[in-house]
Amino acid sequence: MTLAAGIDVGGTKCLGVVVDEHGAIVRQARRPTPHGQAAMLHVLAGLAHELAPFDSLGIGVPGLVTLTGTLRAAPNLVDVRELAIGPRLSERLGHPVAVDNDATCAAAAEWRHGAGRGATDMVMVTLGTGIGGGIIAGGQLQRGANGFAGEIGHIVVHPDGPPCPCGRRGCWERYASGSGLGRLAQEAAAAGVLATVLENVGDVGSIRGEDLQLAARDGDIEALEVIDDYGRWVALGLVNLTNILDPSIFVLGGGLAVSSDLYLGPIKKWFIRLLYSPDHRPHPALEFAQLGSEAGAIGASLLPQLQT
Amino acid sequence: MTLAAGIDVGGTKCLGVVVDEHGAIVRQARRPTPHGQAAMLHVLAGLAHELAPFDSLGIGVPGLVTLTGTLRAAPNLVDVRELAIGPRLSERLGHPVAVDNDATCAAAAEWRHGAGRGATDMVMVTLGTGIGGGIIAGGQLQRGANGFAGEIGHIVVHPDGPPCPCGRRGCWERYASGSGLGRLAQEAAAAGVLATVLENVGDVGSIRGEDLQLAARDGDIEALEVIDDYGRWVALGLVNLTNILDPSIFVLGGGLAVSSDLYLGPIKKWFIRLLYSPDHRPHPALEFAQLGSEAGAIGASLLPQLQT
């Protein structure tokens, strides 16, 4: 039996797993995510020792990762940048260590063991604080020329839209991420709708996506309308990706996948309305992720066999 | 010596070529593009006979082409739709016929024999009346799950933008194609700039991209400003594609490639300004196509070996 180890580095914790050929987790371990370069390498090496024995090791990290396993920019990690995680851990551990972006790892996991099994062309979209992505095209996990493929959250969908921390305006994740949902809700409240939500929360600036979800589940029509608008923005980006990549399936993950029942209807409705040439093509399936919070670690364990 | 035949079906003419292993054209033939399904098959079979002998045949057509070689929708052909070009010609000619979208063919040609030689990740963007595209990712020509990958002209870059014949609003080709350039010029003239151009042309509605180019070459500052704005829209789409696919090179083709000297500066300037995380990544090269009007036919000849 081949055992593949994977570690998912998150903003707050690092989750390590050892996975068998069927994607079943046979061991796991976790540590808080440390601050700083040396501490990061130390914690990852410690997790690797704790997970041993295994036949291969892959690591998923949030941010831009080069083809040779260097983490360039990582906005959600503290004091970590330009860190050659792959080469330095390989040297310390004495065996190869494959490294890639965490959303790419989640895509790999859902492709091999989750909602995207069997697809040759699949796009994974993680709707969380931001939007991450991973692309399977032509039966291969795509990394791009430099390892940075799949930064789909920063597709500009409205050049005069709200500013994005990336320095531009109107990035897709300003509308279609979890924080984008909160922003849409705040905009609606400021425009005088969502009275009930506003009353419960107290002030416009404190309204979050979760408040909107609660109201929608109570049948608040205005909250449902904001969720419909949110579904339109999600669909707009999915349609753009369809025009470029023509996948047979989108797998939607991230925090919003937990409440998929609220979102799937609006997203599907708008997807069909916005699709280019809808009468002349099969429509890609829209599915929510199946592997939950372990997708990143499971996907990291697949990197050694998928990176080409 | 292996001889590969390729036919490029355009809106007005069909160009057939026979190409050697180095991409050199050893024979060619052309016919006017006919109207109607039966006439189309007849002309293509006739061209194939005229081009013979050859070892393989590929055909590029404008529109959505399925993986099995059926042309679904073809807005620029008269009375041709849902035509099983590949299967029906194969039967008539007695040998396999590979069929794909014309922009995909141009991408294949530039990848193998033109500006994109040696790249593993390349995007071809044809800036003509509309915008077409072809994608090389992970060293493979990408077709998508249904054959429709690369419809990049219909990426929505402004949801409240001008209506597109596709039925939606704000598609990239409303801004960044040749006709988009004309529209930007008309908008500028309607807003009171481009006085010299307007005086020469007579009325706002008659201003075309070519008029703007002429004025820009004469040093008309306002015309150069519209071209700068056009460059921003081209760059915006290229940046979106970079975020998704991380190519090492964009190859820009189509009618505007003829005046590449006017556009390359503005496109490059805006590309760097709009790029996500520009300090942490190599910037893709922006090159104009090298194979000119024969790219489509040369690329069609490559289809039998590239379609997987």
Q: Tokens 């355009």 label which residue?
A: B10
Q: Are the C-beta atoms of residues B176 and B226 closer than 8 Å to each other?
A: no
Crossing angle (nearest 10°) for helices A260-274 and A209-217: 100
CB atoms A243 and B142 under 8 Å? no
A138 to chain B: nearest residue by CA?
Answer: B142
CB atoms A145 and B280 under 8 Å? no
Contacts of B33 (CB under 8 A, 6+ apart): B9, B10, B11, B12, B13, B14, B40, B43, B77
CB atoms B148 and A274 under 8 Å? no
Q: pLDDT (tens digit, 9 = 90+) per residue, A116-130?
A: 999 999 999 999 889
Beta-strand pair B13-19/B25-32: antiparallel
Radius of gyration of chain A (CA): 20
Q: Are the C-beta atoms of residues B62 and B77 closer than 8 Å to each other?
A: yes
Tell me the chain A residues in contact with residue B119 when contact means C-beta distances shorter than 8 Å. Answer: 145
| Residue B74: pLDDT band with limits 50, 70, 90 | confident
Q: pLDDT (tens digit, 9 = 90+) per residue, B167-212?
A: 899 999 999 999 999 999 999 999 999 999 999 999 999 999 999 9
Which pLDDT belongs to residue B257? 82
- How far off is chain B from A47, nearest CA to CA, in Å? 28
Smallest Cβ–Cβ distance between A157 and the set B150, B157, B276 belongs to B157
Q: pLDDT (tens digit, 9 = 90+) per residue, B20-58?
A: 998 899 999 999 999 999 999 999 999 999 999 999 999
CB atoms A246 and B143 under 8 Å? yes
Q: pLDDT (tens digit, 9 = 90+) per residue, A43-70?
A: 999 999 999 999 999 999 998 999 999 9
Query: Which of B100, B234, B251, B281 is the best mutation test for A, with the most CBs of A within 10 A?
Result: B281
Smallest Cβ–Cβ distance between B243 and the set A121, A151, A280 belongs to A151
Interior/surface letters B174-213, b for 16+ CB within 10 angstroms, e for the rest: bbbbbbbbbbbbbbbbeeebbeebbeebeebeebbbebbb
Look at residue B82 and tell me whether its pLDDT is greater than 80: yes
Q: Are the C-beta atoms of residues B106 and B295 closer than 8 Å to each other?
A: yes
CA distances (Å), origin B257, targets B132, B198, B264 = 13, 25, 9
Look at residue A258 and tell me whether its pLDDT is greater than 90: no
CB atoms A133 and B245 under 8 Å? no
Average pLDDT in the B50-67 region?
96
Q: pLDDT (tens digit, 9 = 90+) per residue, B180-189?
A: 999 999 999 9
Amino acid at B207: I
Tell me the chain A residues in contact with residue B108 when contact means C-beta distances shorter than 8 Å. Answer: none
Ramachandran area for residue B60 (φ above 0: left; ψ -120 to 50: alpha; else beta): beta
B249 to chain A: nearest residue by CA?
Answer: A145
Look at residue B276 and tell me whether its pLDDT is greater than 80: yes
Q: Are the C-beta atoms of residues B7 and B15 closer than 8 Å to each other?
A: yes
The CA distance from A105 to A54, in Å, is 18
Which pLDDT belongs to residue B58? 98
Look at residue A134 and tell me whether its pLDDT is greater than 80: yes
Share of chain A above pLDDT 70, in %: 100
Q: Give the residue among A254, A237, A236, A184 at the shortest CA–CA distance from A213.
A: A184
B146 to chain A: nearest residue by CA?
Answer: A246
Give me the half-sphere count of Cα atoms (radius 13 Å) on the Cβ side of residue B138: 16
Tell me the chain B residues in contact with residue A154 when contact means C-beta distances shorter than 8 Å. Answer: 243, 276
Share of chain A above pLDDT 90, in %: 86
Contacts of A200 (CB under 8 A, 6+ apart): A211, A215
Peptide bond into B159 cis (omega under 30): no
Which pLDDT belongs to residue A87? 97
Beta-strand pair A13-19/A122-127: unpaired
Which pLDDT belongs to residue A198? 93
Which pLDDT belongs to residue B138? 97
Crossing angle (nearest 10°) for helices A178-190 and A221-245: 140
Amino acid at A129: T
Look at residue B308 and tell me whether its pLDDT is greater than 80: no
Helices and strands (H and E) in chain A: how many: 10, 10
Which pLDDT belongs to residue B148? 94
Smallest Cβ–Cβ distance between A155 and the set B138, B159, B244 belongs to B244
Work out the mean pLDDT of chain B and round it to a whole number.
94
Q: Three-state DSSP class for B85?
A: helix
Average pLDDT in the A92-114 region?
97
The CA distance from B113 to B122, in Å, is 13
Which pLDDT belongs to residue A294? 93
CB atoms A147 and B236 under 8 Å? no
Look at residue A308 and tell me whether its pLDDT is greater than 80: no
Look at residue B83 and tell me whether its pLDDT is greater than 80: yes
Residue A25 is inside which H or E element, if any?
A: strand A25-32
**Dihedrals phi, psi of A175, to nearest 5 degrees:** -110, -40
The CA distance from A21 to B188, in Å, is 61
Which pLDDT belongs to residue B140? 97
Cα angle B113-B116-B118, degrees, rounded to a multiple of 5? 85
Beta bridge partners of A124: A134, A251
Inter-chain CB pairs, A–B, below 8 Å: 162
Token duo for residue A166: 């990336």
Q: pLDDT (tens digit, 9 = 90+) per residue, A30-42?
A: 999 999 999 999 9
Q: Are the C-beta atoms of residues B247 and B119 closer than 8 Å to each other?
A: yes
Greater confidence (A208 vs B277) lies with: A208
Ramachandran area for residue B41 (φ above 0: left; ψ -120 to 50: alpha; else beta): alpha
Which pLDDT belongs to residue B216? 95
Q: What is the DSSP letter of A219?
A: T
Smallest Cβ–Cβ distance between A154 and the set B64, B145, B243 belongs to B243
Look at residue B75 and tell me whether its pLDDT is greater than 90: no
Which pLDDT belongs to residue A257? 82
Look at residue B224 and tell me whether its pLDDT is greater than 90: yes
Give me the half-sphere count of Cα atoms (radius 13 Å) on the Cβ side of residue B306: 30
